[in-house]
Structure 1
Amino acid sequence: MSDTAAATGIQPYHEPSPKEVRLVIAASSAGTVFEWYDFFIYGTLAAIIGKAFFPADNETLQLLLVWAGFAVGFGFRPLGAILFGYLGDKLGRKYTFLVTVTLMGVATAGVGLIPSAATIGLAAPAIVIFLRILQGLALGGEYGGAAIYVAEHAPPEKRGFYTSFIQASVVGGFVLSIVVVLACRALIPEEAFNAWGWRVPFLLSLILLGISLWMRLKLSESPVFKAMKEAGEMAGNPFVESFTYPGNKKRIFVALFGVTGILTTIWYTAFFSGMGFLRGPMKMDPALVEWVMLIAGGLSMAFYVWTGKWSDKVGRKKPIVIGAIATLVLIFPIFWGIGALANPGLAQSAREAPVVVTGTDCTYDPFASQQASECGRMLADLTALGVSYEIDAKPCPPTAECVANPITIGNQLHVYGGMDDAARKAAVQGWLEAAGYDFSVQRPPFANLVGIVALLLACGILSALTYGSVAALLAEMFPPQIRYSSMSIPYHIGAGYLGGFLPLIAGYIVATTGNAYAGLWYTWGIVAFGLVVAWWGIRGGPPRDFEASDHVLPVSPANP
């Protein structure tokens, strides 16, 4: 292959040896596992982090602040994509993702060293947010570097298969974070773990960083990048050229909404929303939640690899479209099934004794530490208990019950006006328990646990269909001179904002509606729009390398 051909396509100018390819996949995948472990350990320990760094009287507010900190890291991923994408296209793929993994490891270990808010006050959450920003910047450069590096070493007929290990490694990082937390909980007494032991998983990132650097330092530069450099066909300004290269604006739009928007919302719904749903509204034993997420996540990794391999035969478009359509049909039934198996009594109680709240100014602000009205404070109590409710905003006659603000549980009317916070919380929980609601920690029987794992695995398969072939697809969509920037920018805008803010937005929707399943509408809407874009914009048919001629309008005799 000539230098020019190498610079306009994705196929390397020499065929890497099988040993070299195995090292490329292993080093890139291991680094991706470790880096995503660093990012996900924050979400896995969200409840403890909230108490340590974001203490609040409002439990819902405390959790939302944790997810806001989680979202901040994602919010800075596009900036990381711009910065490291520029460096990757100018200086090389290898050295750029060496920098990103180092920055991620150091920032993650830093979270484990920050004193709690009880010790240093507001400085604690401020430092956490700063470190989350560094993590987001690092992650913005990691995925594009690892995906492109593998794609540019892979033969075209195996590119989906080889790069699928990068996608599976993202799940691997999530699984590793759970494994480490479970191991720490087993080795450290619960009281000590809640006090200081939760810091150990963060500090372990330094060991993972050392392993990742050792593996990646053995790698050589991408053959495609070396070919472009030798041919003198490097981009002048990769960021600018990403938006000026012929046809690239459309490709970036499709990559943002038709690819990343779909995969990222399904991924975070499957794993983070699934975990939060079981821990929160379903009140399932946190240790059991970690085990079912570990098993479901571990099993789902094989489907990412299978999807990547399948896409080498049927093309990149078909798995994504099938996965998106299946998600629109199945996402609500899957979560209804998980809820019925995790806490069947809650669903039964909600049917037999529905809760209706009546009162003046009956609004709830999840971000307020103290609600403005008594009715709002009642809604806060119900939300904290994970109980769904309806609001009756119709005017009521000036009776004593109306003035005191009533709540109806089943056929029983209760009044709570004039109570202080402690008395009201105790009263409403007692009324609900008397109506059949069970707020004890749920430990479902083994058969139910198997069913929960199966349904979570179904979510994982939906994610695999929309994610397994994406690294190959994005690498094939963009010219190599600006590939790192062009694929990283839309990927991390989509993953950073559409996906990273999902736990916060879905949590807000659930808190304001009183419906534990309402947050799924965010996922449904993003996937529905993304499906339209994917159907329109992703190239069908067998996989093909990027060719500049595919994206240049033909010249007619009348229009030379």
Structure 2
Amino acid sequence: MILRKKRVKPIGLKDITIVDDAKVRKAITAAALGNAMEWFDFGVYGFVAYVLGKVFFPDASPSVQMIAALGTFSVPFLIRPLGGLFFGALGDKYGRQKVLAATIVIMSLSTFAIGLIPGYASIGIWAPILLLLCKMAQGFSVGGEYTGASIFVAEYAPDRKRGFLGSWLDFGSIAGFVLGAGVVVLISTVLGEAEFEAWGWRLPFFLALPLGIIGLYLRHALEETPAFQQHMDKMEQGDRQGLTHGPKVSFKEVATQHWRSLLTCIGIVAATNVTYYMLLTYMPSYLSHNLHYKENSGVLIIIAIMVGMLFVQPFIGFISDKIGRKPFIIAGSIGLLFLSIPAFMLITSGKIGLIFSGLLILAIVLNFFIGVMASTLPAMFPTHLRYSALASAFNVSVLIAGLTPTAVAWLVESTNDLYMPAYYLMVFAVVGLVTGLTMKETANKPLRGAAPAASDMEEAKEILQEHHDNIEQKIEDIDAQIAELEAKRQNLVQQHPRIN
């Protein structure tokens, strides 16, 4: 049987996608706003956890109230993998845009509903049960939210700007936190502590509804991503892989065929989100409950830190397009490993300036991770299974990272050791370092399974020239290897009497 090699068609300018700047801006705005909506809730929840403990778990001690409130935050992460599998399959079958419209509806309604739940004093045990159900609905929607949004931005972005444009997704995350924290401080300051604990804590959750309506409007108006449209076009031309009869890729297949990418994704997300939840969700409670600062004082410090992070975030993404994503993953992991204990020495010093410096160290380390995560993860999987694979990997690691506030609160209470958060971070720093050293660089390369993407025709010509130069270099390398092998062959021939 003679095997015929399929002739590879040369790549020309017409094969490079020219991305429309206006569509890119709309895509980033819609994705970032949805992400801001998600983290607005998480920010509000983290900053009012001390009040929720009193409202929904009034009979417990203050320490148990805090752990219980943060535990309600962590439990929904058990649901996130299910949401990831569900929305990932839908995203690969029907497209990214439709799924992102659905997730923001579920998120906004469930967040709004938290503000409607009566306290334990009114309906007893049903109060914490309803709170948990709302959080589980959020977890289900978030299972497809971040991964879908990062894929959406990555598939719209030109190859040379994917790091910078992807960094705005987590800019939205931080902005959501800042907005949530700022709203909590403003309302508690205006109403006073007593009124805020009585009913004022509900107001930030009510804001989720109008934010969700705006986000839904923006996402509904978007077109599908160029990469997914290309995949649909291939299907219509006879390529049946992945969509016509529904998703054919199981998690088992992803794990066996793309296990390196899967492990890399899990490592990056675990290291990033443990640091994220430690700094932005647990630290407000740590400052108020364990270090005995007034709630508003701790919140104001965190807000100042997050505002600083907003300015650093796009800069990290921009630089990663020049030097790559790997250096930031490695540097962030090393920083987390060696600076966590010094940071907490400053945080526990009792001096505001030093506390701010300690939190700033953790914030800069976090920026190194989140500045490149949204551009790194989608590049690891091919188009036809990108949503399913990334959602599965992302939510498995988030399942671990989401336990951070509850686990660290319990460890601190159990050991009376205020440095437990630092030790916890150092464990995941090792995970991040191993991942960073072993991962493949993805900067300035087309997404797997997608055509190269450029901002304009001039850039497309440069990309095509680089592609041809790369082919020429590979041919030269192969020629050199052939020459070396030929020399070895000749040397062996000369040693054999009959062949010679």
1:43 equivalent in structure 2: 46
> Retained in 2: the 8 A contact 1:12–1:152?
no
Answer 1 or 2: which has greater helix percent: 2
Partner residue, 2:400:
498
What is the match of residue 314 of structure 1?
323
Structure 1 residues 326 and 238, CA gap change in structure 2 (3 angstroms):
farther
Report whether the alignment pairs 1:539 with 2:436: no
Per the alignment, residue 290 of structure 1 pairs with 299
Q: Which residue of 2 aligns with 1:278?
A: 287
Q: Does 1:180 align with 2:82?
A: no
Other-structure match for 1:90: 93
CA distance in 2 between counterparts of 1:148 and 1:57 reads 43
Q: Which amino acid aligns with 1:475?
A: P
Is the 2:346–2:357 contact (alpha carbons within 8 Å) kept by the matching residues of 1?
A: no
Aligned length: 432
Residues 1:326 and 2:335 are matched in the alignment: yes
Structure 1 gap ranges (5+):
6-10, 344-447, 550-560
For 2:117 and 2:39, how far apart are their aligned partners in 1? 21
Instruction: Quote how far apart the aligned CAs of 1:276 are.
Output: 2.2
Structure 2 CA distance for partners of 1:455 and 1:518, relative to 1, 3 Å: closer
Give me the whole-angstrom Cα distance separating, in 1, the residues matched to 2:425 and 2:248: 30
Q: How many Å apart are 1:168 and its aligned residue? A: 1.7
Deviations 1:342-389 (A, max 9, x none): x2xxxxxxxxxxxxxxxxxxxxxxxxxxxxxxxxxxxxxxxxxxxxxx
- The residue type equivalent to 2:430 in the other structure is A
1:235 aligned to 2:233?
no
Aligned equivalent of 1:464, options 336, 343, 367: 367
The alpha carbon displacement at 1:299 in A equals 0.8
1:348 counterpart residue number: none
CA contact (8 A) 1:37 1:176 kept: yes
Could you report, residue by residue, the CA deviation over 1:299-344 in whole angstroms, capped at 9, with x for unpaired residues?
A: 112222111111111111110011000110001111110110xx2x
CA pair 108-169 structure 1, distance change in 2 beyond 3 A: same
Matched, 1:454 2:457: no
TM-score w.r.t. length of structure 1: 0.74
1:515 aligns with 2:412: no
Percent pairwise identity: 30
| 1:478/1:487 contact within 8 Å kept | yes
Q: Give, as a single letter, the amino acid of the residue that structure 2 aligns with 1:297.
A: M
The equivalent position to 2:273 in structure 1, one of 264, 268, 272, is 264
Inter-partner Cα distance in structure 1 for 2:369 and 2:41: 24
Mapped partners of 2:435, 2:218: distance in 1? 38
**Cα displacement string for residues 31-66 of structure 1 (whole angstroms, at most 9, x for unaligned residues):** 211122123322221011111112233221111111
Whole-Å Cα distance in 1 between the matches of residues 66 and 192 of structure 2? 24
AA in 1 matched with 2:242? A
Partner of 1:28: 31
Shift of 1:545: 2.7
Query: What residue number does 2:465 align with?
Result: none
- Say whether the 8 Å CA contact 1:13–1:227 is kept in structure 2: no
**SS where residue 445 of structure 2 aligns?**
coil
Provide, for residues 183-237 of structure 1, a one-character-per-residue CA deviation record: whole Å limited to 9, x for no partner. Answer: 2123323321110111011111111111111222221111111111121155155
1:50-449 equivalences under 5 Å are: 50-232=53-235, 233=239, 235-236=242-243, 238=247, 240-245=249-254, 247-257=257-267, 259-340=268-349, 343=350, 448-449=351-352
Shift in Å at residue 238 of structure 1? Answer: 4.2
Q: C-alpha distance in 2, partners of 1:28/1:239? A: 27
Q: Does structure 2 conserve the Cα–Cα contact (< 8 Å) formed by 1:278 and 1:289?
A: yes
> Distance in 2 between the 1:318 and 1:488 partners?
25
Note the C-alpha offset of 1:450: 3.9
Q: CA deviation at 1:109?
A: 0.7
| Kept after mapping to 2: 8 A contact 1:85/1:141 | yes
> Which residue matches 1:439?
none
Q: Distance in 2 between matches of 1:492 and 1:16?
A: 30
- In the alignment, the residues of structure 1 paired with residue 138 and residue 251 of structure 2 have an alpha-carbon distance, to the nearest angstrom, of 24
Contact 1:300/1:460 (CA < 8 Å) preserved in 2?
A: yes
Q: Cα–Cα, structure 1 residues 482 and 12, in superposed 2: closer, same or farther, change >3 Å?
A: farther
CA shift for structure 1 position 271: 2.1
**Separation in structure 2 between the aligned mates of residue 239 and residue 310 of structure 1, nearest angstrom:** 38
Structure 2 gap ranges (5+): 1-7, 9-13, 451-500
Equivalent residues of 1:242, 1:248 under 8 A apart: no
